[in-house]
Amino acid sequence: MFDPSSDLSSGQKRRVVVGVVLLVAVGIGAIGVAADFQEKRLDAEVTVVNTSDPTNIHRASVLTIRVHNQESRAIDPEFQTVHGQLMTHFYWNRIDGPETLQPGESAVYRLRAPVATAAIPYETRTMLAVNDEGVDDQLRTIFTLDARKPPDVLNPSFQHWLVQSGSGNYPYRWARVTTDRRGERTVIESAPNESGATLSVRGVDRESGPWSMARLYQQSAFPSTLHVEATPHTVVQNTTGEPPRAVGVGVRESNHRVWVVFADVENRTVVHQQGDPSYLYVYVPAEPGERVSTTVDVQALYEQHNWELQPKNSGSSTA
């Protein structure tokens, strides 16, 4: 989900295009656990019960672990994983589960990856290590996540943000494009609750001329259906042609463009602008500052306008 900046005035000249939010069910990866205990110094049993990918990044970012303490003393379990070419160790955050496990006790722990890169890619052999916090004792087990079909758009809710040196903040696996003109400033930042993106163009005091743009984009499989949630603070007033100011979501491939744009209309309106490339503007009713939720059948639009998706161009850019 995303929330365009609330400090924009209706007179600002801007074009803002943002990433897609899809209705994709939470993926639960099937698990193959190998009873491969290495360096068994902590006397305990550890079982990987379940994994999930709630933010659709094609990595398991939530693990459910069962631990049985067979020590004669209490332990304070902490969990880390090792995977990838660099064999980096990641400590996972405990969501649920007791801080201390008494001798002979069992408990289920739900863990969250500290960052997106720590989440476990599917079909990857991963080492899970359980430590008694503050003690050198450790128990290791190896498991592999079974194959899973990746979502069309990775990280559609923008919940994972990474700091890249010299480039600012990006949601995981999304790229950033900005165009500044005449002293205007484009801004892309994390929403306050870190579950969305805020995009804006600031310092605009003109009504015409080349666009400034704040945009997030991602190469993806062709998304036949889009579900978009946003709070636009600029809506299109005139839907007869290409909008001079817009907030929305776009899909592009080859010479076709589909834009879902928030507008001052009573009913959803589709405007076809022929050319190379050809555009379909899907104007969705919206009020400035109010939450909008809409679903657009992109594949049906292609069929209605006799647009053909070429196999060699089946990869699309979603922004």
Q: What is the predicted pLDDT for the residue at 315?
A: 64
Separate counts of helices (H) and strands (E) for the chain: 1, 25
pLDDT of residue 8: 35
138: tokens are 């450790």
According to the model, what pLDDT value does residue 282 have?
A: 95
pLDDT of residue 239: 86
Q: What is the DSSP letter of 260?
A: E
d(CA 57, CA 65): 21
How high is the pLDDT of residue 25? 27
Residue type, 197: A
82-118 burial code (b ≥16 CB/10 A, e <16): ebeeeeeebebebeebeeebeeeeebebbbebeebeb
Structure tokens given for 117: 């890169």
Q: Would you mind telling me the total number of residues written for the chain in this entry?
A: 319
Q: What are phi and psi of 304, to 5 degrees?
A: -65, -30
- Based on C-alpha coordinates, what's the Rg of the chain? 24
- State the pLDDT at residue 165: 57
Query: Which of 57, 66, 64, 65 is closest to 27 using CA atoms?
Result: 57
pLDDT of residue 85: 63
* Tens digits of pLDDT across the chain (319 residues): 333 333 333 333 333 333 343 222 222 233 344 334 445 589 999 999 999 999 999 999 999 999 999 999 999 999 999 876 657 889 999 999 999 999 999 999 999 999 898 999 998 889 999 999 988 888 999 999 999 988 888 999 888 887 665 566 788 899 888 888 888 899 888 887 777 888 999 888 877 778 888 999 999 888 889 999 999 999 998 888 777 788 999 999 889 999 999 999 999 999 999 999 999 999 999 999 999 999 999 999 999 999 987 664 456 776 7
SS3 label, residue 315: strand
Q: How far apart are CA 147 and CA 268, in angstroms?
A: 39
pLDDT at 183: 85
> Which structure tokens are listed for 251?
């899909």
Q: pTM of the predicted model, to two decimals?
A: 0.75
